[in-house]
Amino acid sequence: MLRSNLMRLVACILILAGMLPLMGSTIIDPAKISDSGAEYKTGEVVTGSFTKTVAGGGVMYYPKKYQIKCETYNARVKSISVGRSDKLEEGQEIGVLYTESSRADLALLRQRLENAQESLEEMDRVLDDKILALQSSAASASDPLDSEMLRLRISRAAIEYEKNRFVLEKEISDLKERISEEEEKLKDTPVYSPVTGKIEAYSYLNEGDSVAYGTVILRVYETAVYLIRVEDDNNRWHYGMDVTVAYGPRNNRKEAAGRVVSADNVLPYNKKTGYSYIALDEFIDPEDLSSINLSATYLSLDNVLLAPKKAVSLQKGKNLVSILEGSSVAQRYVYTPMYNSDWYLVLQGLTDGQVLILD
């Protein structure tokens, strides 16, 4: 057994000894060693545009709203001819109100007017008689003092007459005005839509219901004027930004241009809403604006230095690049405040045309 193992060992040594000359002559072939340096993947520092985009879903927003209020006292509903979420045309009758006005009050006012007019006529007659009597006495007076006294009394009667007539005429005028107002109240009051739009809020009212003065009967928004609203929690949709609006059914998507006309970045802190509003450059029928998607370039810097994203690595909290210059590689720190999917924006440390080794 021992002898058998010894023979195996001797055989192996002999085999290895026999292969040695072969190894020395064929494994390293000097002709196959390249003298052209390492084959790096490289990219170039370029001057170009650095952009970032933002996207989101949009919803319709109607900024022109109207409130239809009850503007008469003691009103009741005679009829209501619209329902919740109905579309309305400008001038369309929404309903009719009537006023519970007292006919007794009106009758009393009319009687007072009649009395006042009668008093005026009577006053004219009495005054005429009084002045005539005084003038008669004055004509027969021989004493200059008596004559002067009568002249004064006639003058006084005339002034008093003018005064009373003036007061009574004012009373008659006021009564006529009040009667006119009361008569107006007794008429039905139709309520019309001030605009072509849609009902946003609706007070449920039935025939005969009383409606207090100032009660909001309907709230309507104008459909012809709209904005597109987008949520802006990250403060990316800035005022003034151009926006592309995609809309319509999946098999027939269309695009329109718009601009942000209101955004939190131009509002004071306590008035921020979390939304931005976009106005379209051209009017599109709001019925067509379904499934709205918005996109915009919120960051765009032109003529800036850009380094390929794969060329920049982080070392000790700073960005580092490997610059290939001929056959040498120089590692340098660079100041790159931001990046997008392809590039780092370079502010310091590189120049246009430098070749960088990509990671």
133 in contact with another protein (CB under 8 A): no
Q: What is the DSSP string of 199-245?
A: EEEE----TT-EE-TT-EEEEEEETTS-EEEEE-TTS-S-TT-EEEE
Residue from 105, 288, 318, 351 touching another protein (CB under 8 A): that is 318
Q: How many CA atoms lie within 13 A of 166 on its CB side?
A: 6
Residue from 188, 331, 342, 352 touching another protein (CB under 8 A): that is 331
63 in contact with another protein (CB under 8 A): yes
270 in contact with another protein (CB under 8 A): yes
Q: Which is nearer to another protein, 100 or 177 (CB)?
A: 177
10 in contact with another protein (CB under 8 A): yes
Tell me if 251 sits within 8 A of 230, measured CB to CB.
Answer: no
Span interacting with another protein, options 11-19, 183-191, 196-204, 244-252, rule CB under 8 A: 11-19
Q: Which residues of 253-273 are buried (b: 16+ CB within 10 A; e: fewer)?
A: eeebebebebbbbeeeeeeee
208 in contact with another protein (CB under 8 A): no
Q: Which of 306, 323, 319, 312 is nearest to 359 (CA)?
A: 312
Residues in Cβ contact with 340 at an 8 Å cutoff, skipping those fewer than 6 apart:
50, 51, 52, 309
Residue from 114, 240, 255, 359 touching another protein (CB under 8 A): that is 240
Exposed (0-12), middle (13-18) or buried (19+): which is 161, by Cβ within 10 Å?
Answer: middle
Sheet holding 197-202, edge to edge: 65-69, 216-222, 197-202, 87-88
Q: Count the site residues for another protein by CB under 8 A.
A: 90
Considering the complex, what minimum distance in angstroms separates the CB of residue 183 from another protein? 19
Q: How far is CA 65 from CA 88, 158, 203, in A?
A: 13, 61, 16
Tell me if residue 340 falls in helix, strand or coil. coil
Q: Which is nearer to another protein, 107 or 329 (CB)?
A: 329
Question: What is the DSSP-derived secondary structure letter of residue 194?
Answer: S
329 in contact with another protein (CB under 8 A): yes
Considering the complex, what minimum distance in angstroms separates the CB of residue 15 from another protein? 4
Give the Cβ contact number of residue 332 at 10 Å: 13
Considering the complex, what minimum distance in angstroms separates the CB of residue 131 from another protein? 14
Interacting residues with another protein between 293 and 312 (CB under 8 A):
298-304
Rounded to whole angstroms, how far apart are CA atoms 312 and 337?
12
17 in contact with another protein (CB under 8 A): yes
254 in contact with another protein (CB under 8 A): no
Span interacting with another protein, options 97-105, 132-140, 245-253, 321-329, rule CB under 8 A: 321-329
Interacting residues with another protein between 136 and 175 (CB under 8 A):
145-146, 148-149, 152-153, 155-156, 159-160, 162-163, 166-167, 170
104 in contact with another protein (CB under 8 A): no
Span interacting with another protein, options 90-98, 178-186, 244-252, 324-332, rule CB under 8 A: 324-332
Rg (CA), the chain: 49
Looking at this protein, which amino acid is placed at residue 302?
D
Interacting residues with another protein between 188 and 207 (CB under 8 A):
none
Q: Which is nearer to another protein, 103 or 271 (CB)?
A: 271
37 in contact with another protein (CB under 8 A): yes
